[in-house]
Chains A and B, each alone.
Chain A
């Protein structure tokens, strides 16, 4: 009688165990492993979205995932200030600085080049959605070699269920959400989620753990 339940339960158990924390790796990490970066300089992200807030919204939230992954992350605001003092005010200009020069001033082993491809709220009749998407590239500042690339996005609509109420209910939900999404910097918390997805270690095709993590060398 309970054979079906047992089979179901067993497969649920297996799926849970497998899905829990295992990260299948399909990416070539040989250059990354050889480089063994200890510190990462995150350059101000280039912004391809129409929202001018994107660069600093994301930059202010990159330290958490990278430091928790086990890397020393250079102080992002101070680094930005140093560039400004040296006449570099746009993210595009900053990202064109040579790896050798960056290494000389900041002493970082690697630099993270981030590009925001989407940031903001799109307004539609039924629903308005706030999306942040970004790409990242980790480059060894000693050799100029690319060690890793990644891409991630996050949306305000994730997990948001259409909780009944028919069309009228949906219209009210959309109107309320539009107010919420536009009245404040709705992209900022979404950018925080995107940043964690993009720059955390221990994920499929994600960054490797750094020397300050107890998991360093286990991936």
Chain B
């Protein structure tokens, strides 16, 4: 009886490790997210934009220090925040970075950059 219990335990462990191996790829993400989504929620709730910039810049340093990739929209979000704080040069730079990292954003980033002087991205 003890013997079969041990057998069962062994097989159960093998099954568990197989299950983990089968899903191991899911544990690794394509991007390093930092607090992108929580800070987007802070923006929607109307919280301090200075604090959002500080947090996003801090996380970006951490992402870069591990050679990670920020997710789609990260630099665009930063750009919008800089724009609404009157820092247009940094806004333009962030929009261009977004476009460089993700060419899929080109149409929209170009649209925003064309409108810089009319203040489309400022709240």
Chain A interface residues toward B at CB < 8 A: 1-2, 5-6, 8-10, 12-13, 16-17, 19-21, 38-39, 56-57, 59-61, 63-64, 67-68, 70-82, 85, 105-109, 188, 192, 202, 212-215
Contact = CB atoms under 8 A, between A and B. Distances in A.
Contacts of A82: 112, 120
- Cβ-closest 8 pairs across A and B: A107-B107, A75-B73, A2-B4, A72-B104, A75-B76, A20-B22, A56-B44, A60-B41
A81 B80 contact: yes
A164 B18 CA distance: 34
Interface residues of B, number: 48
A9 B30 contact: no
A74 B30 contact: no
Given A13-B11, A13-B15, A72-B104, 17 more contacts: A12-B11, A20-B22, A60-B37, A60-B41, A61-B37, A67-B30, A68-B30, A72-B102, A73-B72, A73-B73, A78-B77, A82-B112, A85-B120, A106-B108, A107-B105, A107-B106, A215-B25
Given A5-B7, A17-B22, A107-B106, A75 B44 contact: no
Given A60-B41, A61-B37, A105 B111 contact: yes
A79 B33 CA distance: 19
A111 to B, nearest CB: 13
